[in-house]
Chain A
Amino acid sequence: MSDPNFQPGRIDADRLRAKILSGFPPETEVLVQDTHGNGYQFQVWVSSSAFTGLSRIQQHQKVYALLKEEFQDALHALTLKTEMRG
Chain B
Amino acid sequence: MTQEDAIHKFIKDEISNNDIVVFMKGTPDFPMCGFSGRVVQILNHFRRPFKGINVLDDEALRQGIKTFASWPTIPQIYVKGEFLGGCDIAMEMAQSGELEQLLNEKLGPAKT
Contact = CB atoms under 8 A, between A and B. Distances in A.
Contact of A64 (B35, B71, B92): B71
A60 B88 contact: yes
B83 interface: yes
A38 interface: no
Secondary structure dominating the interface of A = helix
A21 B85 CA distance: 23
B88 to A, nearest CB: 5
A81 B88 contact: yes
A56 B86 CA distance: 11
Contact of A57 (B35, B73, B89): B89
Interface in A30-86: 56-57, 60-61, 64-65, 67-68, 71, 77-81
Contacts of B85: 56-57, 60
A65 to B, nearest CB: 8
Nearest to B89: A56
Given A56-B85, A60-B85, A77 B35 contact: yes
A80 B72 CA distance: 12
A68 B72 CA distance: 8
Given A57-B83, A77-B35, A71 B88 contact: no
What 7 A-B pairs have minimum CB-CB distances, sorted nearest first? A71-B72, A64-B72, A80-B88, A56-B89, A57-B85, A61-B70, A79-B88
Interface of B: 35, 70-73, 83, 85-89, 92-93
Given A60-B89, A81-B88, 18 more contacts: A56-B85, A56-B92, A56-B93, A57-B71, A57-B83, A57-B89, A60-B71, A60-B85, A60-B86, A61-B70, A61-B71, A64-B70, A64-B72, A68-B72, A71-B72, A71-B73, A79-B88, A81-B92
